[in-house]
Amino acid sequence: MTRNRILPIFVPHRGCPHQCVFCDQRTISGCHRPVTAADVTRMLTEALPLSGQGIEVAFYGGSFTAIPAEQQQELLDAVEPFLQTGAVASVRVSTRPDAITPEALECLRRGGVCTVELGCQSMDDVVLNASGRGHGREVVAPAVALLRQYGFSVILQMMTGLPEQTDKSALETAHALAALQPDGVRLYPTVVVRGTVLAERYADGSYRPQTLEEATALGAELLELFLHHAIPMLRIGLQPSEELAQSVVAGPYHPALGELVKSRVYRNRAQVLLETVPPGSDVVLAVAPNRISLMTGQKRCNVHWLRQRYGLHSLRIVPEPMEDWEIRLQSSESLDKINR
C-alpha cells in the first residue's frame, strides 16, 4: 500500500468535551492558537510547492467530529480547492470514538475525508476512567462499524503506561483493537507533560510512569501482536520536537522510541533462534539489508546483549534478500561442528 505524504494541521483540543489527564495538545503539537480556515489556506499554499502533488492533509490534535458542524465545514471547505486541483489527494482527521455519528460522517464524506483516526487509548474502563476520557470501551466497536459502513479507512490509536493500566490491560486492549481489523494502529506510551493533571499526580507520587525499558519491552510485545494480525503499526511514540522535549517531566520520552521498539522485536526474535546455540559459538544472523541497523541495535546494543546472554564467541549480522522482520540463523560454527 503506497501512502501519501501527510501534512499535519493541528487543531489542539478543538471539540474535546473533556480534558484527558495526560494531554496537552498545545505543547505536543507546538500550536498555541486556534487554527482558522484562512490559516489552512495559507499553510497549504506555502506547503504545496515543497510537497508536490497528492499530499494528504491531516487535522490532528483535537476531536474533529465534535467541533461545531459549521466550523468543521469551514476547515474542510478551505481544503476543497486543493482537492479540486489534485494538489491534495485526500484528508484525514483524528477524533474520539464517542463522537462518531451518521451526521458527522456525512459531513466528513462531503469534505473529502478518507481516513478517520480514533483515539481509543484503552479498552479497559478502569483505565479510561482514571485517564479522564469521559467514555467507556463500549463506544469503540460501534464507532468502527459505522466508519466502515461509510467507507472510511480506520486507524486506531492506543496508549500504554496510562493511570491504572497494567501490561496485561494494554495487551488486552491490543487484542480487542486487532479484532476490529483497523487499517493501521498508532502506539503512544504515556509521557508526563508539564501542566497536565498527570504531572500533578506524578509530583504527589500517585502516578508512576513507565520507564523507557518498560515502554520498549511492552511496545515490542504489542508490535508483535499487530504484526501477527498483519495490521501495520504506523507510529510508535510522540513526534519529537524541541518544545515537547522541554515540557516532558517524566516518562519514556525518546526521539527514536519507534526504532527502540522495532529493534527489541528483532532481539526477541533472535533469542528464539539462539536458544539452541552452544556457548562459545561464532554466529551469523541474516536480515533484510534495510533492517541491519534494527537487528544490530543502537550502539550495537542488541549484538552486545545477545553475545553476553548466550555466551557467544562472536555474532555477525549480514544482509540477505529477505522479508522484513525475518531473521535467519545463517551459520553457527559450533552447531556446524555438532552437525558434522
- φ/ψ bin of 320: left (φ > 0), alpha (ψ from -120 to 50), beta (otherwise): beta
In the complex, least distance from residue 13 CB atom to ligand SF4, rounded to whole angstroms: 5
Q: Which residues bind ligand SF4 (CB under 6 A)?
A: 13, 16, 19-20, 23, 25, 62-63, 96, 119
In the complex, least distance from residue 227 CB atom to ligand SF4, rounded to whole angstroms: 26
Contacts of 57 (CB under 8 A, 6+ apart): 6, 7, 9, 44, 79, 82, 88, 90, 91, 92
In the complex, least distance from residue 99 CB atom to ligand SF4, rounded to whole angstroms: 9
In the complex, least distance from residue 63 CB atom to ligand SF4, rounded to whole angstroms: 5
Report the C-alpha dihedral over residues 113, 115, 121, 123, rounded to 10 degrees.
110
DSSP codes joined into one string, 278-325: PTT-EEEEEE-GGGHHHHH-GGGHHHHHHHHHHT-SEEEEEE-S--TT
In the complex, least distance from residue 325 CB atom to ligand SF4, rounded to whole angstroms: 30
Give 3-state DSSP helix, strand, coil % of the chain, rounded to 5.
45, 20, 35
Nearer to ligand SF4, 10 or 310 (CB): 10
Nearer to ligand SF4, 91 or 93 (CB): 93
Amino acid at 303: V
Give the C-alpha separation, 37 to 76, whole Å.
8
Helix/strand/coil for 3: coil
- Residue 216: CB atoms within 10 Å: 21
Give the C-alpha separation, 30 to 12, whole Å.
9
**Checking DSSP bridges between strand 314-319 and strand 328-332, what pairing results, if any?**
unpaired
Give the C-alpha separation, 192 to 78, whole Å.
35
Nearer to ligand SF4, 26 or 264 (CB): 26
